[in-house]
Amino acid sequence: MNTLPHAPPTPATTAPLAGFTVAVTAARRAEELSALLRRKGAQVIAAPALRIVPLSDDQRLASASDQLAHRPADVVVATTGIGFRGWVEACETWGTAEALLNSMRSSRLLARGPKAKGAIRAAGLTEEWSPPSESSAEVLDYLLNQGVQGLRVAVQLHGEPLPDFTAALRLAGAEVVEVPVYRWTQPEDTAPLDRLIEAVTTGGVDALTFTSAPAAAGLLTRAHTTGHQDALVQALRGDVLAMCVGPVTARPLMAHDIPTVWPERARIGSQVRKLTEELPARFPTLSVAGHRLRLRGHAVLVNGTVHTLSPTLMRLMRELARRPGQVLDRTRLLTCLGEDADAHAVETAVARLRTALGDARIVQTVVKRGYRLALDTTDRTHQP
């Protein structure tokens, strides 16, 4: 058997995302999310799908703040802690923070969750109420039950509109002031995003993470602009997992019938934990030649040890693993090796695969017929 030199396998690991490539589309907290993923063993590709307009440059926010400072709202809804703090800090750069905070002292303050509550208190204010569910829907129900007819209600947004929320308030008779904190737009440099889209559509990414609806929409918009939206959607409907931080974030993807997954709590820590459950579960464990094999995105775990494979060898391994124990002829396996490959290339690739996996017995030759994974007897069912 011909073998080629190969890099030694990575030491045995229990990292749940070892062997997977995960993409981060976030602009804010991208480093934190990337670090969490790497800690779980993933290779990370970071490409922001949007850019945050600096608050100090956002005249829409300045205008809304000036309106509220001179004509206080009856109710102020803080949806996020970082958004409320950023709002106050931006007003400090404009010299209008004191006037804004003074106006809020005559307003009823509602906090969507504990972080928003903390930001309100850090500003020297006191909230009237906060829902235990951290849900915008519960805040809306609270306001509608209290009655908003004739009231001026300021809603602090966070990077995206809340059309259902604000429309319901207006229908109930409220005057709504939208406070556009952290507005999103296209990245100044779109090259990393374009490279990410190409990686997704060519099988180089196993999961995409989204922490905001604008990021999901931004990715789809950029793919449409470059003519790759159909391929991107097809990949996300297929082998690439779309992992969102919550259902609101998932909406732009769901509009394209893309399956999405999110944790019970909309937190990036929960998002990563959910990913460590969902992604490995897509790949079964096989008993082959006395070893426990588990396929990953760009690697095979052999008894817990990560064996990283080239894209060609990974395609070959996936084809064999789709029908473990069944004989696949050379013609079928040739399709994994590219248009220019010949029959001899299959023999060479199988030899390289055996070397990379560390045990030649894993891939068995069936004379004059082809190759198969040497599935252990206890796992063999209806094999020819």
Global pTM value: 0.70
Domains with residue ranges and CATH for the chain:
21-52+187-281 (3.40.50.10090), 55-182 (3.40.50.10090), 285-379 (1.10.10.10)
Q: By three-state DSSP, how is residue 288 classified?
A: strand
Question: Average of pLDDT values for 230-246?
Answer: 95
Q: By three-state DSSP, how is residue 106 classified?
A: coil
* Euclidean distance between CA atoms 366 and 345, whole angstroms: 17
- Whether 35 shows a pLDDT value over 80: the answer reads yes
pLDDT band at 158 (very low <50, low <70, confident <90, very high): confident
List % helix, strand, coil for the chain (3-state, nearest 5): 45, 20, 40
CB-based burial label for 94 (10 Å; 0-12, 13-18, 19+) = middle
Q: What is the pLDDT of residues 310-345, one digit of tens each?
A: 888 988 998 999 888 899 988 888 888 876 777 688
Query: How do beta strands 241-244 and 260-261 pair?
Result: parallel
pLDDT band at 12 (very low <50, low <70, confident <90, very high): very low
Of the listed ranges 106-120, 237-251, 288-302, 322-336, the least confidently predicted one is: 322-336
Task: State the pLDDT at residue 15.
Answer: 87
